[in-house]
Amino acid sequence: MTIQDRAVTLDVTSRSVVYEGRVWDIVHDSFVFPETGEVLGRDYIDHPGAVAVVALDDDDRILMIEQYRHPVSMYLWEVPAGLLDIDGEDPVTAAERELFEEADVRADTWHVLVDQFNSPGASAEALRIFLAQGIHDIPEDQRHVRDGEEASMKIEWVPFDEALTAVIEGRIHNPSAVSGIMALAVARQRGMETLRDAHVEWNAHPKFRAEATNLYRD
């Protein structure tokens, strides 16, 4: 048996914005559940989705960033990541942009490591994590000027085995970092044969799927 998540087109009878936020909204959907015919209502975060990057250099180190995250009141060690919040920007271009803006580097080679939903019971957020290799520093006069929480970020190149141990021992918690590091560990065990092309379709992302299939009706 091959297991695979499957998309469905439910009868969404109404949609309303419960809260309009700066980055994402909370919406309420009413929909007909096909198993019972019952009309159900659910509130969730209408999220644009995100990308993250595990950047691996020639010395077998991955680039990690320490950033303050207010909802959990912690400084977290993460990999570069950001929202898909620019209209028309494809995921690979977004990942390249985040690596440039957050880490001051570019990469020659890109692959998909893993796709996931971060909290599918409460959010529409889809996350694609890339592996970036062939790393080059960006000259100082061409670097992005960071602000907000990003202004004080620490950037470290961490040996891969050390980063993997930090995941296993529960010392880092960011989902992009945890999933990306674990996915890279598995890919290395399998001779990197599990890596997918960087531009492979991402039909699980609700936005891309909705554009293709017109999931929701007015």
Predicted pLDDT of residue 73: 97
| Strand 25-32 versus strand 11-20 pairing type | antiparallel
Predicted pLDDT of residue 151: 61
CA dihedral 200, 55, 84, 40 (to 10 degrees): 80
Across the chain, mean pLDDT equals 91
What's the rounded Cα separation, in Å, for the pair 155 and 165?
A: 19
Could you report the per-residue pLDDT of 61-110, keeping only the tens digit for each? 999 999 999 999 999 999 999 999 998 899 999 999 999 988 889 999 99
- Residue 150 among the catalytic residues: yes
Query: Quick check: 180 and 172 in contact, CB under 8 A?
Result: no
Single out the catalytic residue among 78, 89, 150, 211.
150
Share of the chain above pLDDT 70, in %: 91
pLDDT at 24 over 70: yes
Query: Quick check: 63 and 57 in contact, CB under 8 A?
Result: yes
Identify the residue with better confidence: 51 or 206: 51
